[in-house]
Amino acid sequence: MARGEYLRWPTVAKVPLLLSLQETSGAGSTGKTPEVAIRRYRETDGAALDLYYWDGVSAFQAAPNWIAMTELDSANNPGLYTYLFNHIPIYD
């Protein structure tokens, strides 16, 4: 995904985000630092709750915050990156 594109998922306490980066040859792309911005949505209709973004630590804020993902295992899973989104569910 490019910057500015967003995914939606239901609110739960922990969401493991996985991203697979591949070279044009199909091989996993290692040694990168992909980033993700996490935006809050309502579960009921998928509409933006308040247009706030996860700050990467403990709260949501108005400005987007790009969070670095880490490489899972370059030897056994080349090109697989992860970020564990761990938060307290917000219900509206």
pTM surpassing 0.85?
Answer: no
- Judge contact between 84 and 4, C-beta under 8 A: no
User: What b-and-e string marks burial along 6-37, b requiring 16 or more CB atoms within 10 Å of the CB?
Assistant: eeeeebeeeeebebeeeeeeeebbbeeebebb
pLDDT at 91 over 50: no
Query: What was the pLDDT predicted at 44?
Result: 65
- Judge contact between 80 and 72, C-beta under 8 A: yes
- Convert the pLDDT of each residue in 46-74 to its tens digit: 666 677 888 888 888 889 899 999 999 99
Domain boundaries, the chain: 14-86
